[in-house]
Each structure stands twice: as structure tokens, then as C-alpha cells.
């Protein structure tokens, strides 16, 4: 096929006076509390707690992309064509490029590595533009990052994480390049350890990395879902336990067999508005569990902008308040619609170790784009996966707007790391109602109990193999308390960008044996069955959680590999 370079997107900031914005925010927040909810379960909304903490006032960059490494550190990425950052490259290093619109000689870092243990950042070196790019962790724990804007559209970058007493940095691949310019693309780790790259701006194809001599593959579905404002960039892609892919774009979705390049199943349209960029909904595949052999699959899609909100951004229409859930494995699947207590676009959806879904960040009006949104969604909302009577729980609000180009990641201790927000082409700190945000925050859901009361994983194998059992020895600080539930959960480390966590999945493992000599014994052991195959759990590093009565331990990293 003929290759063509995607055209850049014109984005303009639409401002408003700060005082007016504050008044609107107060009125909207008040109306949310007073209005009668409109869909299923909406009368059963309860309020909860949660704790916010400011970690750093200045992380050096706003985070457009983020990912948690197997050492617990967090890679934060901006894009290079943003102008001056608040952190410089070490040793007087600079990059020189003719592509940058502001700095031809650029001595600033556009990526940093954050350490939750020391609460510090150090600069990392990015050489080509990572604007609206994609990525995945591969089996050895390396973050393989692809595409972007300008000179970065066909680039492949690799970050091999290291411990805190070592130094690691980004490396631009000299052996791999993309076959087509990829901007606003979604990546997914496959059972064979490769990545599949799906769609993007003016990209109606998929490709593989490494390619293994496979060329570009046309996927007409991506062109069919491309409307007058696009609305199908950053498609939602989930690897199913069958090995096929569930792909959602705009309002439509399919099951796609990438091996044969065939659409296995077409699903009905989700009711309401578009859900992908620039409309900016979000999606998760709900937990896969041993109890049904990991075969039951439900997809949840929440939020998004009104159709036309992007092209008519001055009107600032309200974002969607609906969530749709569909059971992929049903013979005749239909969307079950529910109403969130707060309308939201640009929200991030995070699978929590207690198997619920946190919806956080975003705005209540407008869409993605430079200045195209207003009225921040300050309150996180919990989607309670298995509580059909009281689906949503509203948590305490933050005071920091995190809208366009912000991220949310699950940390090893169960907190959620919030970073970024930059609704402008360049870093802008003055004369705007929503300045560029450099701070880092953490949100602790109510499941986080006193550290002294958490179970502590003491012995865990570094690697586990498919369909094999393994042992866990743990310390129970409160053995006299009754154990209502004990569960073991694996969560992946996704690449988070533009309201979607690429590669996110959660597995509930089977506890096949528990050895507890006495209820007062603090040291206990259990035997757990690993996932059955690489379609259920692609080969990678996962966080393993032990939960007692819904309260998670601090996670330990484990590598899932073939025997």
C-alpha cells in the first residue's frame, strides 16, 4: 500500500476567565449532588472516602504517557516538541533537531523516572518525538515504545529498567523501525511475546513488532469507524483468552483474528456518544477468573464526549455519564447501560486488586484537544464490579485539575499515581484557567488499611510457568481476625496514555491449598495455580497481590513465562 505521512492536527486553546470557570464548576458539582440519576442502579450511588497526598510539586515534566516498571519505578513521558521543561538533561547534554518548533537546541529532559520509595525523579533522554505514541512491556521487562509525531512517527525506543543503584536510560533502536507512521495508535502484547500495533491517525492497518517479515495488514473496520471528527484514534484493544482481539473504535466493536486477518464477530453499537479519541472515553476488560476457567469476558466502556464536541469545541457540551458493559462470550450480546454519578471524558479506568474499577481524572465538559475541555472531574468514582445493587461509589475530590494529557497508574502499594495535565501545545503556566501541571499526587482507595495490618508476602518464586502450581509464604500480622476471603490476583503493568491503559488486565488465580496450622500462627503458606496459557496471561512481569478480606498486600513482581 502507498505510505503517507499523517497530517498534523491543528489544536487551538479556547480559554475562559478563571472566575467564570470556578462559578461553573461549583454549579455543576452542586447539580450532580442534587439531580436524580437517569439509568440502571443510579439511585444506588453511595459516597466513600479515600485519601489524597501531594508527592511532588515539580516532577520536571507533565506526563503524557506513563508506565510502572518491574522495579516499582515509574517512567513518565512528555513529547519533545513542547519547548522548555522544568528539568534539564545531565552533563550538559542537548539534542539538536530541525523539527522542533520552539527549541532547535534542546537541553531539557522530556522523560523522567520517578521512584516512589525515594519520592524523587531523575531525567531520562528521549531523542525523537513521542507525541501521542504507544507502548508495551515485553517479556524481559523492557518497555518498547513506538511512534509519535514529526521525526518520531516510525521510531522504536526501548527502556530497560534497572534498580535504584543503577543507571538506565532510553535507547533508540537501530535495528527496528515501523512500517507505517504511527500516531495515536494502540499497542497490545500478544501470546507469542510480540506487539500488535492497531490503527492511529490515517492508519487503517495493523502491524507487528518485531515484524517477522510480516507486512502491513489492512483492517477495513478502522476506516469504517472513521467519522467527520475521526473518533477512532487510540482504539480500545483487549487480548481475549481465545487469543483473538476485541477492538472497539468510535461506537463499534469486533472480535478480530489477527492470524487469519478475519473479523470473527461484530457487536451492536454502544448506545450514545463516541468513545475514542478525541471523544475520550475509556475501557477495561473486567477481571478474568479461574472460577469459570478464564473464559468469561466482559468489556466495560465509560464516558466520552458528545458527537461534534471536538469540532464545535467552543460550545463545551457536557461529557457522557454512561457506562456500557457487554459480555463478549454471550451468543447474542447486548450492551447493558448504567449511569455514572459524574459525567466524564478523559477519565482513566484502573483495574484495582480488589477487582473493582477506579474511574479518575478528566473533565465534565468538552473533549480532548488543546483547551477543548472545561469543568474538571475532581471526584474519583469506583465501579463496583460485582455489586449490582450499589454500583458506584464517589470518593473524596482532589483540588488539581487533571484533564488532557494526564495519566493514572496503579503502584505496588495499592495507591494510584496521578501525573500530568497539559491542555496546551507548549508548557503554559500563566494566563490560563488550566495551567500545565507538573505535580505528582497519590490517591489511596479505602481498601488500603494500616500498613501494620497488611499481609506481607515473604516467599514467592521469581518466575512462574503456565498451568503449574507455586507456593506463597506470607506473614499475617493479625491472625486472630477471621478470614472471610483470601485471594491472589495478578495485574499487568500497562502503558497509560490518553485515557486508556494499553495492555491492562487482571487475573484471579486459583488457591488450590492453604496450610494454616493454627489460627494464631502468623506465618502461613498457600499453593496457587498459575494462569493456563499465554493468551490468558501474555509472557511478562506482573504484580502479584495477596488480599485478605479485600485488603491487598504490597504487591511483589513475578515473571510469567513458558516452562
Q: Which three cell numbers stand for residue 23?
A: 462559578
The CATH number given to whatever domain includes residue 552 is: 2.60.40.10
Answer yes or no: are the C-beta atoms of 109 and 87 closer than 8 Å.
yes
Q: Dihedral, CA atoms, 158, 160, 161, 163, nearest 10 degrees?
A: -150
Helix (H, G, I), strand (E, B) or coil at 109: coil
Residues 432 and 547 both lie in one domain: no
Question: Rounded distance, CA 302 to CA 320, Å?
Answer: 8
Among 25-29, 322-326, 385-389, 419-423, name the one with the lowest average pLDDT. Answer: 25-29
Segment 505-514 shows an average pLDDT of 94
pLDDT in tens, 510-559: 999 876 555 567 889 999 999 999 999 999 999 999 999 999 999 999 99
Alpha carbon 176 to chain centroid, angstroms: 25
Total tally of structural domains belonging to the chain = 2
> 449 falls in which pLDDT band (50, 70, 90)?
confident
The CATH number given to whatever domain includes residue 51 is: 2.130.10.80
User: Which one has a higher pLDDT value, 450 or 283?
Assistant: 283
Residues 185 and 261 both lie in one domain: yes
Residue 9 falls within a domain, yes or no?
no
Residue 146 falls within a domain, yes or no?
yes
Residues 440 and 339 both lie in one domain: yes
pLDDT at 520: 60
Segment 298-315 shows an average pLDDT of 95
Pairing of strands 392-394, 46-47: parallel
* Position 12 pLDDT exceeds 60: no
Q: Which residue has the cell 505496588?
A: 412
pLDDT at 479: 79
Rg of the chain over CA atoms, in angstroms? 22
Give residue 498's domain range.
Answer: 451-561
Residues 300 and 419 both lie in one domain: yes
Question: Which helix (DSSP H) or strand (DSSP E) does residue 31 occupy?
Answer: helix 18-34
> 69 falls in which pLDDT band (50, 70, 90)?
very high
User: Which CB contacts under 8 angstroms, 24+ apart, belong to 451-458?
Assistant: 452/477, 453/477, 453/478, 453/551, 454/551, 454/552, 454/553, 454/554, 455/546, 455/548, 455/551, 455/553, 456/553, 456/554, 457/544, 457/546, 457/553, 457/554, 457/556, 458/523
Backbone phi, then psi, for 380, in 5-degree steps? -65, 150
DSSP string, 72-95: S-EEEE--STT---SSB-GGG--E
> 483 falls in which pLDDT band (50, 70, 90)?
confident
pTM for the predicted model, two decimal places: 0.90
Residues 407 and 477 both lie in one domain: no
Backbone phi, then psi, for 85, in 5-degree steps? -100, -175
Per-residue CA distances from 253 to 257, 328, 344, 561 (Å): 13, 10, 21, 30
How does DSSP classify residue 57?
S
Backbone phi, then psi, for 27, in 5-degree steps? -65, -45
- Close Cβ partners of 500 (under 8 Å, ≥ 6 residues apart): 186, 234, 236, 282, 283
* Position 442 pLDDT exceeds 90: yes
Q: Which of 287, 243, 288 is nearest to 264 (CA)?
A: 243
Residue 236 falls within a domain, yes or no?
yes
Question: Rounded distance, CA 362 to CA 280, Å?
Answer: 9
Helix (H, G, I), strand (E, B) or coil at 392: strand
Residue 467 falls within a domain, yes or no?
yes
| Residue 400, Cβ density class (10 Å: 0-12 exposed, 13-18 middle, ≥19 buried) | middle
Question: Rounded distance, CA 124 to CA 76, Å?
Answer: 9
Residue 550 falls within a domain, yes or no?
yes
* Position 82 pLDDT exceeds 60: yes
Domain boundary among 421, 444, 467: 444
Q: Which residue has the cell 512481569?
A: 541
pLDDT at 22: 31
pLDDT in tens, 350-377: 999 999 999 999 999 999 999 999 999 9
Residues 193 and 340 both lie in one domain: yes
pLDDT at 45: 60
Residues 80 and 181 both lie in one domain: yes
Residue 1 falls within a domain, yes or no?
no
Question: Rounded distance, CA 340 to CA 67, Å?
Answer: 27
How does DSSP classify residue 269?
P
Compute the residue count for the chain. 563
* Angle subtended at Cα 305 by Cα 384 and Cα 221, rounded to the nearest 5 degrees: 90
Q: Which three cell numbers stand for residue 245?
A: 482481539
* Position 44 pLDDT exceeds 70: no
Residues 517 and 421 both lie in one domain: no
Cis peptide before 278 (omega within 30 of 0): yes
Q: Which residue has the cell 516499582?
A: 72
Domain boundary among 409, 444, 479: 444
Residues 433 and 499 both lie in one domain: no
Numbers of helices and strands, H then E, in the chain: 2, 45
Residues 472 and 325 both lie in one domain: no
* Position 17 pLDDT exceeds 70: no
Segment 418-445 shows an average pLDDT of 95
> 178 falls in which pLDDT band (50, 70, 90)?
very high
Backbone phi, then psi, for 530, in 5-degree steps? -70, 165
Question: Rounded distance, CA 433 to CA 438, Å?
Answer: 15
What's the mean per-residue pLDDT of the chain? 90
Residue 262 falls within a domain, yes or no?
yes
pLDDT at 37: 31
Phi/psi class of residue 394: alpha, beta or left (left: φ > 0; alpha: ψ in -120 to 50)? beta
Residues 484 and 358 both lie in one domain: no
pLDDT in tens, 96-142: 988 888 899 999 999 999 999 999 999 999 999 999 999 999 999 99
* Angle subtended at Cα 52 by Cα 46 and Cα 54, rounded to the nearest 5 degrees: 165
Segment 144-158 shows an average pLDDT of 97
User: Looking at the DSSP assignment, which residues form a beta bridge with residue 552?
Assistant: 547
Among 246-250, 476-480, 494-498, 528-532, name the one with the lowest average pLDDT. Answer: 476-480
Order of strands across the sheet with 262-266? 236-239, 245-249, 252-257, 262-266
pLDDT at 516: 57
Question: Which helix (DSSP H) or strand (DSSP E) does residue 233 occupy?
Answer: none
Domain boundary among 410, 444, 478: 444
Q: Which residue has the cell 552533563?
A: 91
Residue 7 falls within a domain, yes or no?
no
* Position 21 pLDDT exceeds 70: no
Residues 541 and 557 both lie in one domain: yes
Amino acid at each position: 500500500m502507498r505510505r503517507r505521512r499523517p497530517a498534523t492536527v491543528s489544536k487551538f486553546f479556547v480559554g475562559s476567565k478563571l472566575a467564570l470557570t470556578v462559578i461553573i464548576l461549583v454549579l455543576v458539582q452542586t447539580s450532580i449532588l442534587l439531580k436524580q440519576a437517569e439509568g440502571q442502579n443510579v439511585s444506588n450511588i453511595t459516597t466513600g472516602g479515600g485519601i489524597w497526598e501531594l508527592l511532588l510539586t515539580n516532577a520536571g515534566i507533565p506526563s503524557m504517557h506513563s508506565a510502572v516498571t518491574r522495579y516499582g519505578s515509574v517512567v513518565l513521558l512528555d513529547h519533545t516538541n513542547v519547548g522548555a521543561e522544568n528539568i534539564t538533561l545531565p552533563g550538559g547534554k542537548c539534542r539538536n533537531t530541525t523539527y522542533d518548533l520552539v527549541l532547535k537546541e534542546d537541553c531539557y529532559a522530556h522523560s523522567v523516572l520517578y521512584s516512589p520509595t525515594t519520592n524523587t525523579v531523575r531525567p531520562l533522554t528521549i531523542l525523537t518525538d513521542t507525541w501521542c505514541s504507544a507502548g508495551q512491556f515485553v517479556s524481559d521487562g523492557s518497555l518498547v515504545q513506538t511512534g509519535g509525531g514529526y521525526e518520531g512517527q516510525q521510531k522504536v525506543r526501548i527502556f530497560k529498567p534497572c534498580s535504584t543503584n543503577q543507571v538506565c536510560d532510553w535507547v533508540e533502536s537501530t535495528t527496528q523501525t515501523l512500517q507505517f507512521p504511527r500516531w495515536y495508535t494502540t499497542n497490545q502484547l500478544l501470546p507469542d511475546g510480540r506487539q500488535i500495533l492497531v490503527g492511529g491517525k490515517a492508519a487503517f492497518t495493523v502491524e507487528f513488532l518485531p515484524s517477522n517479515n510480516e507486512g502491513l495488514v489492512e483492517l477495513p473496520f478502522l476506516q469504517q469507524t472513521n467519522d467527520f471528527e475521526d473518533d477512532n484514534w487510540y482504539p480500545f484493544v483487549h487480548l481475549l483468552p481465545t487469543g483473538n482481539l476485541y477492538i472497539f473504535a468510535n461506537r463499534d466493536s469486533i472480535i478480530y483474528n489477527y492470524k487469519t486477518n478475519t473479523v470473527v464477530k461484530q457487536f451492536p453499537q454502544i448506545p450514545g456518544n463516541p468513545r475514542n479519541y478525541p471523544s475520550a472515553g475509556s475501557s477495561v476488560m473486567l477481571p478474568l477468573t479461574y472460577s469459570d476457567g478464564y473464559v468469561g469476558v466482559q468489556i466495560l466502556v465509560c464516558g466520552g464526549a458528545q458527537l461534534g464536541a471536538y469540532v464545535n469545541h467552543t460550545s463545551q457540551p457536557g461529557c457522557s455519564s454512561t457506562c456500557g458493559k457487554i459480555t463478549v462470550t454471550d451468543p447474542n450480546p447486548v450492551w447493558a447501560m448504567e449511569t455514572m454519578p459524574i459525567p466524564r471524558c478523559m477519565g482513566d479506568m484502573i483495574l484495582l486488586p480488589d477487582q473493582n474499577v477506579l474511574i479518575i481524572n478528566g473533565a465534565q465538559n468538552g473533549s480532548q484537544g488543546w483547551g477543548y475541555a472545561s469543568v474538571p472531574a475532581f471526584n474519583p468514582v469506583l465501579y463496583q464490579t460485582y455489586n449490582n445493587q450499589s454500583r458506584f461509589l464517589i470518593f473524596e475530590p482532589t483540588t488539581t485539575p487533571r484533564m488532557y494529557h494526564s495519566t493514572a497508574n496503579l503502584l505496588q502499594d495499592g495507591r494510584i499515581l496521578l501525573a500530568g495535565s497539559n491542555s496546551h501545545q507548549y508548557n503554559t503556566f500563566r494566563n490560563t484557567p488550566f495551567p500545565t501541571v507538573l505535580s505528582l499526587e497519590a490517591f489511596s482507595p479505602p481498601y488500603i488499611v494500616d500498613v501494620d495490618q497488611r499481609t506481607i508476602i515473604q516467599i514467592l518464586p521469581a518466575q512462574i510457568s503456565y498451568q503449574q502450581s507455586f507456593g506463597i509464604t506470607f506473614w499475617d500480622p493479625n491472625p486472630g481476625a477471621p478470614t472471610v476471603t483470601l485471594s491472589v490476583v495478578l495485574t499487568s503493568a500497562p502503558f497509560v496514555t490518553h485515557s486508556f491503559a494499553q495492555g491492562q488486565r487482571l487475573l484471579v488465580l486459583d488457591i488450590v491449598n492453604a496450610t494454616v496450622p493454627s489460627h494464631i500462627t502468623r506465618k502461613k503458606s498457600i499453593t496457587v495455580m498459575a494462569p493456563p496459557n499465554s493468551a490468558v496471561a501474555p509472557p511478562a512481569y506482573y504484580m502479584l497481590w495477596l488480599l485478605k478480606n479485600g485488603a491487598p498486600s504490597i504487591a511483589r513482581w513475578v515473571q510469567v513465562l513458558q516452562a
